[in-house]
Amino acid sequence: MSMDFDAIVVGSGITGGWAAKELTEKGLKVLMIERGRMIEHGTDYVTETKAPWEMEFRGEGDAELYAREYPVQRLNRHFTEFTQNHFVNDKDNPYAVAEGTQFNWWRSYQMGGRSLTWGRQSYRWSDYDFGANKADGYGTDWPIRYADVAPWYDHVEDFIGVSGAAEGLPSLPDGKFLPPMALNVVEQHVRQAIAQKWPDRCLTVGRTANLTAPKEGRAPCQYRSICARGCSYGAYFSTQSSTLPAAKKTGRLTVITDSLVEAVDYDPVRKKASGVRVLNVKTGARTRYGARLVFLNASAFNSVHILLRSRSDAFPNGLANSSGVLGTHIMDHASTLSTMAIMPGFDDRTSFGNRPTGVVIPRFRNLDRKDGDFTRGYSYQGGALQSGWTAAKRSAGIGKDFKAATRKVGPWRMVFVGFAESLPRATNRLTLDPVKLDPQGLPMLNIHFAHGDNERRALTDAKKEAAAMMEAAGGHVIMGFDEPGIGGSAIHEMGGARMGHDPQSSVLNRWSQAHDVPNLFVTDGAQMSSSACQNPSLTYMALTARACDHAVTLMKEGTL
């Protein structure tokens, strides 16, 4: 096979874009392969400036179509008539779940992947997180610690632009932030009330990959908060706004779209990956591409799916799976609306603009002492807002008085959504379905996932503490839940090709490099050995940049 490229990057989302940027900037000739369609920055954001009255279903979308073709995607709050073209069609992209289980797998198969639709929350992990598996024995010990990743967090934040406030919290390390977006009047009040009663708890504005200052050809945030439609200002980090132009600028990037990687080829003589087999999903044509280096960035479950499909005599159970743990220990976060409260006393105040981030209360449980009846922790995201016209749907009344009341800004309300750490469990795993085939004729991915008792105990505590904090700030709690949403609902699915010290019990080493196949790297969510309780994307990016640096170092040394 000819070595057409120095490196192949499978996937163009958050980490695929990073791999392409880093590898091309280090001089490699890179092929980036995307299974979905091309979406050009700006010109292809076709709904970006539409008003509801310009949409056939006023932004709500065609419920009948959604029930037939988007039964899972439609359950995502960010899936609307404005954004439906940035999510997969479930009918055309089926997956199986184990009997008696459910999993909401929210996906975006397109240039940019979920970098177009992500929540943009960007948090560093701390050593409470990287040390968690070793401390309580769940999962396998991470072979890295904060000090290994910290310079790469710097590197990533510098490039993507993360706005946030430095708070000096051990559980949520500060980064290199752009100026923070301000708390609104109610959030500011609640922050103070919480700090007064619980000095170890901090409400701060969400650290978000939205620019509060111009950056390398990207304009600052316009406070529309319609990011998932695509942002032609380039004000939030996406592949299109950031990493793709950087990679293209090198002149060393080749991109192909509508191209599904069926498998990674393995050369048993050289004991290395030799390239990938690609199916053009539009024409049905099959092509092989060779490279000295393969990076899998297809999203956690899809990267595992590719490895499981990549069976050979040398690896009959999937490539890089001599350990047998490939596909196991998948995670999400257990999340639910912990509390919603009416916040009186601010009815003469309001705000202007739509801030594209909420607030966060970082983990405070089980840090330096065990103060919860569960292991690890949870964090909250949420915010305070004033009701708009949709509140009228829940209100009695008709006629001109009703119309006049609906015109006015409604009362302040505040919500905290709890995110509990998902423990890595061998029973939560991905397999190839033994029977079902997907439309390409490949074995379908089968997802077996369930939250456990630890997550439930954490969310029970999260509900209780959320209510206590709202009440301490003068809020009237109107509802709260402690039962986690269906797996996948946090859209933080991860794991399946975990990092670890031991090739017998992990897929990847400390460099996101397959123990079994030295020129194969998996740097998306699949590499995660634990889930922490904060959003993982920033860590995926940092680990991707770190892995690229290591891979190129090895290539230059001649060991790859």
Per CB under 8 A, residues contacting other proteins are 49, 51-53, 56-60, 62-65, 67-68, 77, 181-185, 188, 221-226, 347-355, 383, 385-400, 402-404, 406-410, 413, 415
Phi, psi of 218 (to 5 degrees): -105, 135
Closest contact distance (angstroms) between CB of 530 and other proteins is: 31
Angle at 315 between CA 314 and CA 318, to 5 degrees: 160
Token couple for 483: 């039962």
DSSP 475-506: -EEEE---SPPSTTTTS--B-SS-B-S-TTT-
Strand partners of residue 53: none
Q: Which amino acid is at 490?
A: A
Least distance in angstroms from the C-beta of 231 to other proteins: 11
Closer CB to other proteins, residue 390 or residue 559? 390
Length of the chain: 560
Min dist. Cβ of residue 329 to other proteins (A): 34
- Residue 354 or residue 553: which is nearer to other proteins going by CB? 354
Residue 278: in which H helix or E strand, if any?
Answer: strand 272-280
DSSP string covering 358-401, please? Answer: -EEE---SSSSS--SSSSS-EEEEEEEEE--GGGGGGS---HHH
Q: Are 446 and 558 in contact (CB under 8 A)?
A: no
Cβ at position 128, least distance to other proteins in Å: 31
Quick check: helix, strand or coil at residue 156?
Answer: helix
Q: Which tokens go with 496?
A: 């399946």
Residue 470: CB minimum distance to other proteins, A: 16
The Cα 520–Cα 505 span in angstroms is 17
The contacts of residue 558 (CB under 8 Å, 6+ apart) are none
- For residue 50, the minimal CB distance to other proteins (Å) is 9
Q: How far is the CB of 405 from other proteins (least distance, A)?
A: 11
Please, which residue, 189 or 451, has the CB nearer to other proteins?
189
Nearer to other proteins, 238 or 357 (CB): 357
Q: Which residues pair with 448 in a beta bridge?
A: 429
Question: Taking the complex as a whole, how short is the minimal distance between the CB of residue 343 and other proteins, in angstroms?
Answer: 14
Q: Which is nearer to other proteins, 54 or 483 (CB)?
A: 54
Q: Which is nearer to other proteins, 3 or 404 (CB)?
A: 404
The tokens 């065609």 sit on which residue? 62
Task: Work out how close the CB of 448 gets to other proteins at its nearest, in angstroms, rounded to a whole number.
Answer: 25
Residue 534 CB neighbours (<10 A): 28
Specify the residue, 285 or 478, whose C-beta has the smaller distance to other proteins. Answer: 478
Name which of 342 and 554 has its Cβ closer to other proteins: 342
The smaller minimum CB distance to other proteins, of residues 96 and 415, is found at: 415
Shortest spacing between CB 121 and other proteins, in angstroms = 15
Torsion of CA 290, 295, 301, 304, to 10 degrees: 60
Element (H, E) at 335: strand 334-342
Q: CB under 8 Å to 192, separation ≥6 — which residues?
A: none
Contact 35, 108 (CB under 8 A): no
With respect to other proteins, which residue has the nearer C-beta, 370 or 402?
402
